Amino acid sequence: MSQIEAQKRVLSGMRPTGRLHLGHYHGVLKNWIKLQHEYECFFFVADWHALTTHYEDPEVIEDNVWQMVIDWLAAGVNPGSAPLFIQSRVPEHAELHLLLSMITPLAWVERVPSFKDQMTRINDRDLATYGFLGYPVLQSSDILIYQAGNVPVGQDQVPHVEMTRELARRFNHIYGRDSGFEVLAEAAIKKMGRRNAKMYHEMRRDYLEQGNQASLERAQAMIQEQQNISLGDRDRLFGYLEGGGKVILPEPRALLTEAPVMPGLDGQKMSKSYNNIIRLREEPDDVNKKIRTMTTDPARVRRNDTGNPDVCPVFKLHEIYSDEDIKDWVREGCTSAGIGCVDCKKPLIDAVLEEQQPMRERAEQYEGNPDLVKGIVAEGCDKARQVAKGTLEEVRSAMGLSYR
């Protein structure tokens, strides 16, 4: 797997810590659904990651896992284009975690912001554990075992992807130079034929000595086109081009999700811990009730008081769901007391229900048929494992573990 092929692959995961809500839909799932058409995607349930913090309540995992997968399917994630799987069913992640831990400097895990933050912020459980310290190394293994070049995540996860890049680089630096790397690379160059070999050398020099990015890309394209070279040689050609050794674990990048923050029922960010969510598969009656009882501009007590949309949580939801015409109607009607809050909420309720309608329909077939969901996940696990096994073999061999 070269850096270039890795760029076509996406991996992302979620911890099964509860039912998904509209914040997850707008912030993450809509993006997954777009990406699944553009990349080779792998999506997984990070159940081991859930255990790093919730190790004392294992009973919550099972139900959350299946409900979360149903939420994904309901939202439109398509298991035909993206395998959906469960981390703990692909034990290769754990072996890579162990192997990567050998080369992970303690200082790297200790300085990860989420580690320090959560240790001090979370008081209702003890996070001073070996497992929690290893959280980012496990996450690096999740990513690197699929040699995924792209990781769609929110801002809070960027330091983890950053550490993954550093670990990959360190790994390649330590293990990417198999003995006689240069000799093997030169031999691989010859296999492309005289003309190509000459071009390769010229472009490599142009990149390494002049920093010419265009030459690097042209040379990469040339390697890509070669039909009759082995995978090992291909990797060597890519690695040698950039001056170093073989790239065993490509460095991923974070694909930042650019969704606006989803407001909850109280105007704060939608989050389970604020108790202000609308679930992805909320019953229509409950959607209705939740929005109907939302607090509005506190200054607007009676129907004929005027209000200010800028301080109203309801208007924040209009910003997500309504077009300009409706928003103008709200601004005008609110500030002149022309409309009441009940009128104002009506189009919002309709918009949320309409958005959820296809999700409810899709979910129905899965809710009544757990075997169908389990079958989809079993298939996803098989596909994921195939890929994971391949990477692990390369890693074992690079680390001197493939002797017989």
What residue ranges bind ligand SF4 (CB under 6 A)? 296-297, 300, 307, 309, 312, 314-315, 330, 334, 339, 341, 344
DSSP letter string over 343-402? HHHHHHHHHHHHHHHHHHHHHHHHHT-HHHHHHHHHHHHHHHHHHHHHHHHHHHHHTT--
Give the one residue of 11, 22, 90, 144 binding ligand TRP; rule: CB under 6 A.
Answer: 11
**Among ligand SF4, ligand TRP, none, partner that 46 touches (CB below 5 to 8 angstroms by kind):** ligand TRP
Binding partner at 25 among ligand SF4, ligand TRP, none, C-beta below 5 to 8 Å by kind: none
Contacted entry of ligand TRP, ligand SF4, none for residue 344, CB cut-off 5 to 8 Å set by kind: ligand SF4
According to DSSP, the residues that pair with 254 across neighbouring strands are 151
Binds 334, which of ligand TRP, ligand SF4, none (CB < 5 to 8 A, cut-off by type)? ligand SF4
Provide the minimum distance between the beta carbon of 28 and ligand TRP in the complex, in angstroms, as a whole number. Answer: 9
The minimum distance between CB 135 and ligand TRP, in angstroms, equals: 7
The region of 139-147, 181-189, 301-309, 381-389 touching ligand TRP under the rule CB under 6 A is 139-147
Which position among 2, 31, 36, 139 is part of the footprint of ligand TRP (CB under 6 A)?
139
Backbone angles phi, psi at 335, to 5 degrees: -75, -15
> Quick one: 148 exposed, middle or buried, by C-beta within 10 A (0-12, 13-18, 19+)?
buried
Residues 6+ apart with CB under 8 A from 98: none
Q: Look at residue 234 and give the partner it binds from ligand SF4, ligand TRP, none, a contact being a CB closer than 5 to 8 Å depending on partner kind.
A: none
Contact call for residues 151 and 253 (beta carbons, < 8 A): yes
- Max CA distance (Å), the chain: 85
**What phi, psi does 45 have (nearest 5°)?**
-95, 120
Residue (168 or 330) nearer to ligand SF4, CB: 330
Question: Is residue 64 a contact residue for ligand TRP (CB under 6 A)?
Answer: no
Within 8 A by CB and 6+ apart from 9, the residues are 39, 40, 41, 42, 146, 147, 148, 149, 150
Stretch that binds ligand TRP, among 138-146, 220-228, 239-247, 270-278 (CB under 6 A): 138-146
Nearest residue (CB) to ligand TRP, 147 versus 157:
157
**Of 151 and 351, CB closest to ligand TRP:** 151
The two tokens of residue 75 are 């939202």
The DSSP code sequence of 236-249 is HHHHHHTTSS--SS
18-57 in b/e form (b: 16+ CB < 10 A) is bbbbbbbbbbbbebbbebbeebbbbbbbbbbbbbbbbeee
Pairwise CA distance, residues 181 & 302, whole Å: 79
**Contact partner, 133, from ligand TRP, ligand SF4, none, Cβ < 5-8 Å per class:** none
Which x/- pattern over 27-56 shows residues binding ligand TRP (rule: CB under 6 A)? -------------------x--x-------
Q: Which does 49 bind (CB under 5 to 8 A by kind): ligand SF4, ligand TRP, none?
A: ligand TRP
Residues at the contact surface with ligand TRP, assessed by CB under 6 A: 11-15, 46, 49, 139, 142-143, 151, 153, 157
